[in-house]
């Protein structure tokens, strides 16, 4: 049995591996045109990379904190049943992990050369880019919102970290990350009851045997 270090397990719970190239550049401009511009994510993550190079966990934690969602926001996004169920895992795993361990993980990965930040829209209009987890979140939304992925990788390479589930919601960027892992499990369909046995129709009574013909009488003498 493989025993994963606690930090590695947390990284798996929060982030995904970036294993393929960006499909296409997202835009020609390099400066955000407003708060809703996805390049805002790139600017903030460049600040996170700069803080990681300095070993500044407090700044990283502060910048990541701004992406977290509340219970009410999850309920608004996914409806009452899914939103309330997902919040427990989101709060205990995603939010808690970002606050406690993500700064250290990012300092470690940036120290290994993952310093290039890229942003890509993955849904709902780009099914070829959408991971199964991101698709689950899009499908569960009451109203689908454009969803983005932030990648942190070595310059010129495609391997690295992928931060999934960024949406612009209520005038700021939020991070769903792996919220889909905390969705309620679909209820199993009840097993069908076996069909009641059908009774065979009663057999007709056997036809009575014919009585033998009476013997012919002997002729009488004249």
pLDDT for residue 3 is more than 50: no
The string of pLDDT tens digits covering residues 94-109 is 899 888 899 999 999 9
Burial classification of residue 200, based on how many CB atoms lie within 10 Å of its CB (0-12 exposed, 13-18 middle, 19 or more buried): exposed
What tokens does 79 get? 């409806």
Average pLDDT over residues 174-182: 95
Task: Give one word for 177, left, alpha or beta, with left for phi > 0 and alpha for psi -120 to 50.
Answer: left
Question: What's the total number of domains in the chain?
Answer: 1
- In degrees to the nearest 10, what's the CA dihedral of 126, 131, 134, 136? 110
Neighbours of 49 (CB within 10 A): 18
pLDDT for residue 122 is more than 80: yes
pTM of the model: 0.74
Distance of CA 29 to the CA centre of its chain: 31
What does each C-alpha distance from 172 to 28, 85, 116, 197 come to in angstroms? 22, 23, 23, 63
Position 176 in a domain? yes
- Torsion sign over Cα 165, 171, 172, 174: negative
Alpha helices in 23-79 (DSSP H): 39-53, 57-65, 71-78
In this prediction, residue 160 carries a pLDDT of 87
What is the percentage of the chain residues whose pLDDT exceeds 90? 58
More confident call, 18 vs 70? 70
pLDDT for residue 7 is more than 90: no
Boundaries of domain holding 124: 36-182
The string of pLDDT tens digits covering residues 32-52 is 889 999 999 999 999 999 999
pLDDT for residue 218 is more than 60: no
């Amino acid at each position: 049995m493989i025993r994963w270090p606690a930090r590695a397990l947390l990284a798996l719970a929060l982030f995904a591996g970036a294993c393929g190239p960006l499909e296409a550049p997202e835009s020609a401009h390099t400066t955000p045109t407003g708060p809703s511009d996805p390049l805002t994510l790139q600017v903030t993550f460049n600040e996170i990379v700069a803080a990681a190079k300095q070993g500044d966990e407090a700044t990283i934690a502060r910048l990541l904190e701004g992406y977290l969602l509340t219970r009410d926001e999850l309920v608004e996004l996914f409806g009452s049943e899914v939103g309330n169920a997902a919040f427990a895992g989101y709060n205990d795993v995603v939010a808690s992990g970002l606050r406690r361990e993500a700064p250290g993980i990012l300092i470690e990965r940036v120290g290994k050369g993952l310093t290039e930040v890229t942003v890509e829209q993955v849904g709902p209009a780009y099914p070829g880019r959408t991971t199964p987890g991101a698709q689950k979140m899009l499908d569960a939304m009451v109203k689908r919102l454009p969803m983005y992925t932030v990648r942190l990788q070595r310059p010129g390479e495609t391997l690295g970290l992928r931060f999934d589930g960024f949406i612009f919601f209520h005038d700021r960027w939020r991070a769903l990350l792996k919220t889909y892992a905390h969705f309620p499990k679909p209820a199993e369909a009840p097993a069908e009851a076996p069909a009641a046995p059908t009774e065979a129709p009663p057999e007709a009574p056997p036809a009575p045997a014919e009585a033998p013909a009476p013997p012919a009488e002997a002729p009488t003498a004249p």
